[in-house]
């Protein structure tokens, strides 16, 4: 993993493809709804701040850990997302932006760093719950030490199964990242356990805020596609603020607002509270998505903060 001290606005237009997946449909725009000002809102007047610390660049090794029992769809979808981050045009025609277009926005946090290349160098599973079903910081440390043993400096990505409770999640955040013995990590839980009304939206009814449409997940499984959103958010945060000294802003009650959490609930242009913004719908299964990855795999990825324009940016 290479590090450095920390954009240009990248806009990708979606066009309607005619190859295999037939026509792509756009979700309708609902009527605007009034809402109270968010005291944690990140704006041009209150932007994310570069605190001058280290950020990631160059080649990043990942150690992927599946803790607990997972279905084939969940594992394959998460692996496909990570494998799509650096596709750089090798995805077939499909009418949607690529996952790599979304990922490249994070390179703009440090314009001199070049592309950020991700490679999964190690994977292992623990289907027997060797450390129990409550994932505490002490247990996270054990997994990180095991995962990076032969790959010093690798980023450990821990995915917890549905029946595992992750300490620190479901408290205003759907993904967690930190550092153990100098090694950054990201951990996500299953959103159907970890606050589905917050962490599984827009595939599950929101617990609060304006009522909006509940969308169908592109993979057909709510938990799987919600985990992709959480993992994308966690990856964005660990790249731009790995040691809590990079890009961030403090919100209420000392909450830390970062690259993805600065733009909550936004997935496409025109987003508003209770409305994802413009996304595409796969006519084959009705799943909502905004990017395409390897072998045409569809994902819905969150908005990111654009440090150059000091505004939220969506991939379409």
Range of the domain at 175: 2-313
pTM, two decimals, is 0.86
Report the chain's C-alpha Rg in angstroms: 18
pLDDT tens across 119-168, in order? 999 999 999 999 999 999 999 999 999 998 889 889 999 999 999 999 88
The yes-or-no verdict on residue 11 having pLDDT over 50 is no
* pLDDT at residue 132, rounded to an integer: 96
* pLDDT at residue 254, rounded to an integer: 65
The yes-or-no verdict on residue 90 having pLDDT over 70 is no
Structural domain tally of the chain? 1
Closest CA to 42 of 285, 247, 220: 247
Q: Which residues contact 303 (CB under 8 A, 6 or more apart)?
A: 260, 263, 266, 267, 271, 277, 312, 313, 314
The yes-or-no verdict on residue 248 having pLDDT over 50 is yes
Q: At what angle do helices 222-240 and 72-84 cross, to 10 degrees?
A: 30
* pLDDT at residue 219, rounded to an integer: 96
The yes-or-no verdict on residue 184 having pLDDT over 60 is yes
pLDDT tens across 20-62, in order? 333 333 444 333 332 233 445 677 777 889 999 999 999 999 9
pLDDT tens across 283-315, in order? 999 999 999 999 899 999 999 999 999 999 999
Give 91's pLDDT tier (boundaries 50, 70, 90): low
Q: At what angle do helices 72-84 and 99-107 cross, to 10 degrees?
A: 50
* pLDDT at residue 1, rounded to an integer: 52
Average pLDDT over residues 69-92: 88
User: Is the separation of the CB atoms in 107 and 4 below 8 Å?
Assistant: no
- What does DSSP assign to residue 117? E
* pLDDT at residue 126, rounded to an integer: 96
The yes-or-no verdict on residue 181 having pLDDT over 50 is yes
């Amino acid at each position: 993993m290479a590090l450095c001290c920390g954009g240009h606005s990248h806009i990708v237009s979606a066009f309607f493809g005619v190859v295999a997946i037939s026509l792509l449909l756009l979700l309708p725009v609902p009527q605007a709804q009034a809402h109270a000002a968010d005291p944690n809102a990140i704006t041009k007047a209150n932007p994310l701040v570069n605190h001058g610390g280290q950020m990631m660049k160059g080649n990043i090794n990942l150690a992927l850990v599946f803790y607990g029992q997972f279905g084939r769809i969940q594992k394959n979808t998460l692996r496909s997302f990570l494998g799509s981050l650096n596709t750089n045009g090798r995805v077939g025609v499909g009418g949607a932006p690529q996952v790599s277009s979304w990922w490249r926005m994070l390179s703009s946090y440090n314009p001199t760093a070049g592309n950020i290349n991700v490679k999964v160098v190690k994977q292992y599973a623990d289907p027997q719950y060797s450390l129990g079903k409550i994932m505490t910081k002490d247990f996270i440390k054990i997994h990180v030490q095991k995962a990076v043993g032969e790959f010093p400096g690798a980023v450990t990505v821990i995915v917890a199964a549905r029946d595992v409770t992750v300490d620190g999640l479901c408290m205003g955040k759907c993904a967690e990242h930190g550092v153990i013995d100098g090694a950054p990590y990201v951990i996500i839980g299953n959103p159907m356990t970890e606050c589905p009304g917050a962490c599984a939206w827009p595939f599950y009814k929101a617990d609060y805020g304006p009522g909006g449409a509940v969308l169908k997940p592109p993979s057909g499984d709510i938990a799987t596609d919600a985990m992709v959103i959480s993992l994308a958010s966690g990856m964005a945060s660990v790249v731009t603020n790995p040691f809590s000294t990079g890009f961030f802003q403090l919100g209420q009650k000392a909450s830390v607002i970062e690259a993805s959490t600065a733009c909550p609930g936004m997935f496409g242009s025109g987003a508003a509270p209770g409305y994802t913004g413009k996304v595409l719908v796969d006519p084959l299964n009705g799943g909502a998505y905004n990017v395409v990855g390897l072998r045409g795999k569809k994902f819905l990825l969150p908005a990111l903060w654009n440090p150059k324009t000091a505004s939220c940016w969506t991939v379409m």
